[in-house]
Every structure is written in structure tokens, then in C-alpha cells.
Amino acid sequence: MIVSRLAARPAPFTLAYLPHRAVAITVDTTEGPLDVIGLHVPSRDASPAKKERKQRWLAECAAALPDGQAGARIVLGDFNVLEPSHSPRYRFFAPFEYAFYESFGKTGYEDAFRALHPDALEYSWVGKTGDGYRYDHAHVSVGLATVLDGCFYIHEPRTGDDRLTDHSALSVHLAVAPAAPLPVTDPTQGQEPALALF
């Protein structure tokens, strides 16, 4: 799901296999259109069926990604994949999973978090044994790398009292201006209707 404060239209990115795991929109900025592609990569375990499902989905997704050298695009979400240099190194990740992460760099994208924090150890998901994983990523195209203004994890949705999710949120800031922002209001500041029927 993508929620936007800008008028959005479908972006030209679809997958034939498990299409519900990828959603894409285009919004307009003063510098031109910006594509936002959200991914929720399938997880896997040791079973052959889940390994084949993830491998097939990653291969189709990597083949469908537009070239990061052209246009303005951000690809983000729960990749269920680690960067090859992840610390600590976990032995159970397969070469095809690392290859998916590396495919972004090969097609002109840059890991937004790593670009701004080259040596940081941050984890967006932590297992029951306390082992940390940086599963959630944002990759920006060349056109956006120059306006990347911030990228950081917000751990409170995962660690706070409400525990809204088992993942930390990922916040990406781009120095681009919207062409026509939609009016928004704070629902907690809404006023009661002047007239009530009951």
C-alpha cells in the first residue's frame, strides 16, 4: 500500500507472478514525474516450494525494474534480503538473494541508507534471539541520488508500547518540491459539526 499527499496515478511497473507484492505510482514534482515502487518480497524457509517462490519472484522483479540511469524513481519496501556486506553475516542467505540486492547497483540505483550512512549498523527487523537484520531498503535512481536529503530508520513502531509492526519504519527525504500537493488536515484537530440531528 502506498499513501500519498500528492495526486498519484499508476506507474508503469507490474509483475505477472505474485503481482500483489509490488505496487507503483507516479507523482508529479516541479522537476518532473517521480515513480515510487513499493515491494514486499516473499520470505522463505528451507522448503523447496518457498525457495522456488522467492527465487522466481526476485528474478521477475529484477528483470522488470526500469533502468535507474533514466528518470526519477525510488524502489523501497521489505526486501527480505540483506546487503552482501551485512554485519553480522548470516550463512543461510543464498547467492540469488544477494544477487537481487546487487542488481540495483548494476542497473543504476543507490541504496539510500547506505549512501548517507556508509558504516552504520542499523536493523529494521530483530528476531526472537536478538539477531538483527536490515531487511527494509530504499534504492534511488541516479536522478534522485543528487537530491537525497535523508534516510533513517524509525524503530518506535517495532519497539514501542503499541508494537504496530515487527519492522522498523524507513523514512526517506528527497529535496524535491511537489507540483500540486493535496489539501490535508489533521483528523485529531477536526471540529464537531455545528448541527447534530440526534
Spell out the domain ranges in the chain.
Answer: 8-189
pLDDT given at position 182: 84
| CA atoms of 97 and 133, how far apart (whole Å) | 14
pLDDT given at position 187: 75
The residues with which 136 forms a beta bridge, in sequence order, are 78
How far from 146 is each of 27, 32, 140, 173, 196, CA to CA, in Å?
18, 15, 10, 12, 53
Residue 143 has pLDDT above 70, yes or no: yes
* pTM value surpassing 0.85: yes
Q: How many CB atoms lie within 10 A of CB 36?
A: 22
CATH number assigned to the domain covering 8-189: 3.60.10.10
pLDDT given at position 186: 79
pLDDT given at position 164: 87
